[in-house]
Amino acid sequence: MAEPALKIPSTTDTTGFIRGLGLLDSTMVVAGAMIGSGIFIVSADIARLVGSGGWLLLVWIFTGLLTIAGALTYGELAGMMPKAGGQYVFLRESYSPLFGFLYGWTLFLVIQTGTIAAVAVAFARFLGVLVPAVSPTAWIVPPINVSSGYAISLSWQQFVAILSLVVLTAINLRGLNLGKLIQNTFTSAKILTLIAVIVLGVLVGRSAAAGANFSQLWSIRDPVSITSDLPFLPTVSAAQGFFGLLVAFCVAQVGSLFSADAWHNIAFTAGEVKNPKRDIPLSLLFGTGIVITLYVLANVAYLSTLSLGEIQHAPDDRVATAMLKVIFGNAGAGIMAFAILISTFGCNNGLILAGARVYYAMAKDKLFFRPIGTLNQNHVPGMSLLLQSAWACFLVLPRTRLKDAAGAPLLDANGMEQYGNLYGNLLDYVVFSVLIFYILTVAAVFVMRRKRPDAERPYRAFGYPIVPALYIVGAATIVLVLLLYRTQTTWPGLLIVLTGIPVYFLWHRRASPLSPLPDGRGEPQTTE
């Protein structure tokens, strides 16, 4: 007998979501949400950690295999439960409403909104390359120190970041068709941009100096040391045997996994996909496959043009910019800045479009503010989009006060105090928790096979049970290493998640459990 579950009430055709996303549109949501600025930057830190071209490529290949394995498994849940909310719904139905809420709460508090804020600032930062007035130190409101560790400010860079969020939210408030037009246009441009970077690096930028990257593919050179926050663990590096290489490899996954994240956002919009039972699993496979292939080839391009040392020490970690500078001279920085503007703008459109559907689903379950569970006249969750935008804009404003090794304020060449971004710290904190949610979601396939064996499964996870099990093992290994060697940025992430427990029980008092329908899936039948 099926267990009771919360379900999203059905809507009529005139007031519900419009199913306007086809397979191409859905694939563009997957690819567009994945491709931001990370692929152009994080390879520098990965190269410093693993110390060789071969291991740099292997980090990205492993990320790709992990991502695709997750997508192949995720597709079964998406086909079973094609409702707005995606991972929130999967966790709710597989375990309990508490698990779903904790994911949705963390998504709203940091994961989705923090990523949106970070991508918006990246957009403004690279616009500053082309328009110097968009500067992080051109103040509208100078930093106001509110404590020893934090400040709040509004620079022209922050203002442009906020303006981009307002514009994209306004676009998505006007309906799905306009949002998907922006998504399809910018994602196509991003894919073509990455292809151009690959072709230029491999065919035009190839240099003799970079030849050693391939002739000494596995030779580890100048890796950074990795020190644990736990005093009983040794400091290691990739050059210190299997254990050191394993730690470096797992820590390096933070950058590559973050750059390849958000692939599952299409499931958030399942209520607007024309044929969700077929198209969501296919779009997950096509979107992740395309992006991961481009990511690996982009790193081949970097290794073809730049020496390993040039990748490891690229100015501001802008590896792609350093590559184009070799090919085009000083004009390369401007070309890359324009490419990243396109990439970040399109990325944020996908994140904004998809994320709001989760909070909508939570509100329909009476586990979030009631007005968030409504659609506007354009059949999109308008209040959810506005709340998401407001919180993401707020996360742009707080700053962290940077300290030197002695704990004193870090000053620039002009003697002015330097500041970081609060969302950057928050994102570091939740990477650990995000992986745990992914592990739980992939494990949910095993749970649902046992819990609801007779439920309709239009798509069954490829390679079950081996592929899902391998994902769990691989992700769990990364989680364990991060727990041991990045303790200071793991326990705060768990704390952020746990803040949702008392909030859940406050909202849960207003939520009444709904009995599952005869099909046992706990979902209403609709004619949307």
Q: Go through the chain and tell me how many residues it has.
A: 528
* 7: in domain: no
Please state the φ and ψ torsions of residue 509, each to the nearest 5 degrees. -60, -25
Residue 515 has pLDDT above 50, yes or no: no
- Interatomic CA distance for residues 406 and 419, integer angstroms: 16
Question: What confidence score (pLDDT) does residue 512 get?
Answer: 52
CA dist., res. 421 & res. 397, Å (int)? 8
Instruction: Please give the share of the chain, as a percent, with pLDDT higher than 90.
Output: 55
- Phi/psi at 329 (nearest 5 deg)? 70, -150
Choose between 136 and 523: higher pLDDT.
Answer: 136
pLDDT at 406: 76
User: Is the pLDDT reported for residue 2 higher than 80?
Assistant: no
> What is the average per-residue pLDDT within 126-152?
91
**How many folded domains does the chain comprise?**
1
Per-residue pLDDT tens over the stretch 398-453: 998 888 777 788 887 777 888 888 777 777 777 788 889 999 999 999 999 999 99
Q: Strands, DSSP E only, in 56-160?
A: 139-145, 150-155
Confidence of residue 511 (pLDDT cuts 50, 70, 90): low
State the first-to-last Cα distance of the chain, in angstroms, to the nearest integer. Answer: 28
Give the whole-angstrom CA distance, residue 54 versus residue 47. 10
pLDDT at 517: 34
Q: For residue 115, is pLDDT > 50?
A: yes
Structure tokens at 206: 């190839």
- Residue 406 sits at the vertex; the CA angle it makes with 404 and 412, to the nearest 5 degrees, is 30
> Tell me, what amino acid is at 198?
I
CA distance 498 to 494: 6
Query: Is residue 15 predicted with pLDDT exceeding 50?
Result: no
Any bridge partners for residue 236, and if so which?
226
Of 322, 423, 317, 342, residue with least CA distance to 126: 342
DSSP string, 4-18: P---PPP--TTTS--
Q: Residue 352: which of 423, 422, 262 has the closest Cα?
A: 262
527 lies in some domain: no
Q: What CATH number should be reported for the domain holding residue 438?
A: 1.20.1740.10
pLDDT for residue 258 is more than 70: yes
Chain centroid to CA 241: 32
Tens digits of residue pLDDT in 161-216? 999 999 999 999 999 999 899 999 999 999 999 999 999 999 998 888 788 888 88
Residue 14 lies in a domain: no
CB atoms within 10 A of CB 527: 7
Q: Which two tokens stand for residue 130?
A: 């082309």
Residue 95 lies in a domain: yes
Residue 416 has what pLDDT?
83
**Mean residue pLDDT across the chain:** 87
Report the pLDDT value the prediction gives residue 14, as an integer from 0 to 100. Answer: 39
Flag whether 344 is in a domain. yes
Could you tell me if residue 364 is inside a domain? yes
C-alpha separations of 224 from 31, 308, 409 in Å: 32, 13, 25
Whether residue 125 is contained in a domain is answered as: yes
pLDDT at residue 467 tops 70: yes
Distances (CA, A) of 7 to 90, 105, 320: 11, 18, 46
Task: Say if residues 93 and 371 touch (Cβ distance below 8 Å).
Answer: no
Host domain of residue 436: 25-403+410-508
Paired residues of 21 in beta bridges = 273
Average pLDDT over residues 64-76: 91
Taking residue 221's Cβ as centre, other Cβ atoms within 10 Å add up to: 16
Q: What is the pLDDT of residue 510?
A: 64
What pLDDT digit, counting tens, does each position of 74-113 carry? Answer: 889 988 888 878 899 999 999 999 999 999 999 999 889 9
- Residue 9 located in a structural domain: no
Residue 491, pLDDT score: 85
pLDDT score recorded for residue 506: 84
CA 370 to chain centre: 27
Three-class DSSP category at 129: helix
CA 348, CA 507: separation in Å to the nearest integer? Answer: 30
For the stretch 344-378, pLDDT in tens is: 999 999 999 999 999 999 999 899 998 999 999 99
- The whole-angstrom separation of Cα 148 and Cα 142 is 16
pLDDT-based confidence at 11, cuts 50/70/90? very low
Other CB atoms within a 10 A radius of the CB of residue 416 amount to 11
Q: Which among 167, 164, 156 is positioned nearest to 128, based on CA atoms?
A: 156
